[in-house]
């Protein structure tokens, strides 16, 4: 009887321990921002009374900056919570690292826990994968450098502002911002920001002019203040290019143009929110010349959008294509499509490009473009010809 009871207790402890580990390593919900401890992550031997860097990363569909971060020293690895020590509580930290000064005393089997607190009472935490130790000077081991490329794919960047239709006053100060989406966001070694000018009809339209604005070395934030902007100009975009370790880079450009308005001149109002949304293609598609593909979109107006209902009977859809990353949309795929349509079958043709975008516009008699939308990110067209299936048709 005693032996059976002991086995039952042991089994219960094992189940609780397994459940605790499973809860700790539960995968994040898609779209949420989560935290990952980078250093120390196991095997380090840090000298007592030295200063060491504790580092972490944020990853998710779109990373959010936490309101606060708590750093805790966990004793006896991950098996006990008693006698843990709160090392720091950082309010809105600008960087994802913290200097732990005069560390100690000497101890083994330690881990670091980082817990991030986000808006709407959301939290995320992570712990060192393995234990580290605080030792005397003669036993110290130099920690491994931070991983430079833990991502399973190439880094990407997304311009947030300006992203189209802004009217900034000449000589004012404005914030240029961007995001680094991906499984694990790395800080770039440098970031270059350029002002892209729409080329005149008289110039070579295949080569837009770009004026360098700044080069930031190891920026700790995803924004830069552009001071005393100008001169006044229309049809502008911002290009942000980030350079990462191992010669990797990523760049993006504003989806639509913005203007710098003359000081004292009232800028034109921003266009109303679009009722048209392009759903296919939406980025990443690899199309071949000669292939037949569908372009799809939705159309919806709700009272909360506070926009006028267009003159639907005479309105028509126009679909245009850009092969230069959105700088121009001079190729018309289809024109005069009935306003009840929500898709169009397109026979892919023309030159190859890795930076293609599709724009769907609803046009009317009084307004050349009532509503319009562009697919979210680039798709590609390759010159590998696919056997034609059918001509473009309406549905």
SS (H, E, C) 215-256: EEECCCCCEEEECCCCCCEEEEEEEEEEEECCCEEEEEECCC
Please give the angle made by the CA atoms of 39, 41 and 43, to the nearest 5 degrees.
115
Q: What is residue 374's three-state secondary structure?
A: strand
Per mean pLDDT, which range of 57-66, 161-170, 368-377 is the poorest? 57-66
Please enumerate in sequence order all residues whose Cβ is within 8 A of that of 391, keeping only pairs 6 or more positions apart, or say none: 347
- Written as six digits, the tokens of 147 are 């991983």
Q: pLDDT tier at 333 (50, 70, 90 boundaries)?
A: very high
Q: For position 270, what pLDDT does the model report? A: 46
Q: For position 10, what pLDDT does the model report? A: 55
Q: For position 182, what pLDDT does the model report? A: 54
- Written as six digits, the tokens of 111 are 């881990």
pLDDT, the chain, mean: 76
Q: What is the arithmetic mean of pLDDT over 373-393?
A: 72
CATH topology classification for 276-394: Immunoglobulin-like (2.60.40)
> Residue 289, Cβ neighbours under 10 Å: how many?
17
Which residues make beta-bridge pairs with 331? 321
Q: For position 65, what pLDDT does the model report? A: 78
Q: What is residue 275's three-state secondary structure?
A: coil
Q: For position 94, what pLDDT does the model report? A: 77
**205 exposure class (CB count in 10 Å sphere: 0-12, 13-18, 19+):** middle
Per mean pLDDT, which range of 22-26, 65-69, 289-293, 365-369 is the poorest? 22-26
pLDDT at 195 over 90: yes
pLDDT at 306 over 80: no
Q: What is the arithmetic mean of pLDDT over 321-345?
A: 88
Whether the bond into 293 is cis, omega within 30 of 0? no
Instruction: Decide: 287 and 383 in contact? Cβ < 8 Å.
Output: no
Q: For position 4, what pLDDT does the model report? A: 54
> Residue 175, Cβ neighbours under 10 Å: how many?
11
What would the CATH number be for the domain defined by 31-139?
Answer: 2.60.40.10
Length of the chain as a residue count: 395
> Residue 76, Cβ neighbours under 10 Å: how many?
16
- CA–CA gap between residue 68 and residue 46 (Å, rounded): 26
pLDDT at 52 over 60: yes
Whether the bond into 16 is cis, omega within 30 of 0? no
Instruction: Decide: 350 and 307 in contact? Cβ < 8 Å.
Output: no
Q: For position 202, what pLDDT does the model report? A: 42
User: DSSP letter at 305?
Assistant: G
Higher confidence at residue 200 or residue 289?
A: 289
- Model pTM greater than 0.75? no
- CA–CA gap between residue 53 and residue 191 (Å, rounded): 24
**Domain ranges in the chain with CATH number 2.60.40.10:** 31-139, 158-261, 276-394
CATH topology classification for 158-261: Immunoglobulin-like (2.60.40)
């Amino acid at each position: 009887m005693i032996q059976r009871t002991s086995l039952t207790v042991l089994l219960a402890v094992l189940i609780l321990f397994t459940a605790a580990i499973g809860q700790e390593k539960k995968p994040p919900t898609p779209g949420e921002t989560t935290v990952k401890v980078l250093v120390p992550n196991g095997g380090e031997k840090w000298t007592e009374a030295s200063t060491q860097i504790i580092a972490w990363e944020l990853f998710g569909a779109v990373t959010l900056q936490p309101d606060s971060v708590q750093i805790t020293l966990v004793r006896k690895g991950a098996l006990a919570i008693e006698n843990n020590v709160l090392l720091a509580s950082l309010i809105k930290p600008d960087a994802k690292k913290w200097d732990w000064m005069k560390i100690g005393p000497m101890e083994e089997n330690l881990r670091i826990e980082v817990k991030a607190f986000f808006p709407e009472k959301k939290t995320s935490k992570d712990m060192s994968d393995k234990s580290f130790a605080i030792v005397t000077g003669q036993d110290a081991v130099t920690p491994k450098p931070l991983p430079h490329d833990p991502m399973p794919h190439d880094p990407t960047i997304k311009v947030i502002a300006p992203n189209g239709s802004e009217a900034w006053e000449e000589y004012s100060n404005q914030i240029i911002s961007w995001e680094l989406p991906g499984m694990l966001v790395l800080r770039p070694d440098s970031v270059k920001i350029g002002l892209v000018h729409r080329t005149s009809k008289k110039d070579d339209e295949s080569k837009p002019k770009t004026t360098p604005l700044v080069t930031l070395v190891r920026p700790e934030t995803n924004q830069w203040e552009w001071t005393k902007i100008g001169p006044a100009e229309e049809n502008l975009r911002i290009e942000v290019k980030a350079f990462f370790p191992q010669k990797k880079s990523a760049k993006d450009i504003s989806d639509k143009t913005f203007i710098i308005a003359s000081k004292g001149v009232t800028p034109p109002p921003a266009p109303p929110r679009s009722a048209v949304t392009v759903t296919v293609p939406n980025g990443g598609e690899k199309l071949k010349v000669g292939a037949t593909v569908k372009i799809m979109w939705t159309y919806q107006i709700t009272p909360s959008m506070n926009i006028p209902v267009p003159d639907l009977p005479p309105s028509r859809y126009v679909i245009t294509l850009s092969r230069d990353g959105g700088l121009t949309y001079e190729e018309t795929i289809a024109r005069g499509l009935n306003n009840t349509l929500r898709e169009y079958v397109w026979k892919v043709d023309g030159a190859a490009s890795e930076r293609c975008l599709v724009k769907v516009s609803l046009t009317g008699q009084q307004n050349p473009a009532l509503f319009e939308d562009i697919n979210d990110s680039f798709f590609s067209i390759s010159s590998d010809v696919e056997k034609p299936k059918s001509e473009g048709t309406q549905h």
